[in-house]
Amino acid sequence: MPLITITRAQPAEAAALRQIAIAAKSYWGYPDDLIETWAATPIITAAAIERDVVFVARSETTPIGWGRLLVEQTPAILEDLWVTPAWIGCGVGKLLLRYGIAICRKRGIAQIELDADPNALGFYRRMGGVVIGERISEWNRPVPRVRIEVRQN
Ligand SMILES: CC(C)(COP(=O)(O)OP(=O)(O)OC[C@H]1O[C@@H](n2cnc3c(N)ncnc32)[C@H](O)[C@@H]1OP(=O)(O)O)[C@@H](O)C(=O)NCCC(=O)NCCS
């Protein structure tokens, strides 16, 4: 795999990260109208990048994936995790999630939870996540609630 670096996002990157999220969500073949409605929401803003823990994977200088953690609560919430379609299946999601887990470890946070896209559940399970329940998503469908334990060693 080419060199991938992960660093905190800059507020000026909001538009680029938004495009990655829309492309990644479209990867699962959802109907256009659902994607368009969701794409009309802010998804990620400069203010959110300043407020939350937002981290970006880059190939050279090009952003190819990103994640967002809400760490002001326990458990921390993984609010976003997106990999640009050309890079899906190349290990970028794993690098991003491990980066997020390391951030939680440094802050003494013991657990991360998220509402998983059902298509991504296998990824979270592979990364050690367990399903602890079900939530109704913004698309009014049940999605698995996943918990990841953060080992503190
Ligand atoms: C889900 C997503 C973030 C995973 O990132 P990725 O870079 O494709 O995943 P990786 O290549 O790092 O995979 C890590 C491991 O999980 C496995 N895996 C990845 N996606 C999987 C899936 N959908 N189902 C089952 N296993 C999966 C890989 O085979 C790999 O296993 P290995 O460690 O044995 O090699 C990415 O596919 C994506 O952005 N998808 C579209 C948007 C989305 O659904 N985001 C999540 C919203 S909750």
pLDDT tens for each residue of the chain, 153 residues long = 679 999 999 999 999 999 999 999 999 999 999 999 999 999 999 999 999 999 999 999 999 999 999 999 899 999 999 999 999 999 999 999 999 999 999 999 999 999 999 999 999 999 999 999 999 998 899 999 999 999 987
In a domain, 142, yes or no: no
Q: What is the dihedral of CA 53, 59, 63, 68, to 10 degrees?
A: -20
In a domain, 71, yes or no: yes
In a domain, 48, yes or no: yes
Number of structural domains (the chain) is 1
pLDDT at 110: 96
Q: Using an 8 Å Cβ cutoff, are 93 and 105 in contact?
A: no
Whether the model clears a pTM of 0.85, i.e. scores above it, the answer is: yes
Q: Determine the atom of ligand 1 nearest the C-alpha atom of 87.
A: 7
- The boundaries of the domain holding residue 82 are 4-108
pLDDT at 133: 98
Nearest to 54 by CA among 112, 21, 7, 121: 7
Is residue 124 lining ligand 1, measured as CB closer than 6 Å? no
pLDDT at 1: 64
In a domain, 136, yes or no: no
Interval between CA 135 and ligand 1 midpoint (Å):
21
Q: Given the DSSP bridges, would you call strands 4-8 and 53-59 parallel, antiparallel or unpaired?
A: antiparallel
Report which protein residue has its CA nearest ligand 1's atom 17: 123
Interval between CA 77 and ligand 1 midpoint (Å):
18
Q: Strand (E) positions, 9-152?
A: 53-59, 62-70, 76-83, 111-115, 130-136, 142-149
In a domain, 44, yes or no: yes
Q: Using an 8 Å Cβ cutoff, are 111 and 149 in contact?
A: yes
Report which protein residue has its CA nearest ligand 1's atom 5: 93
In a domain, 13, yes or no: yes
CATH number at residue 48: 3.40.630.30
In a domain, 38, yes or no: yes
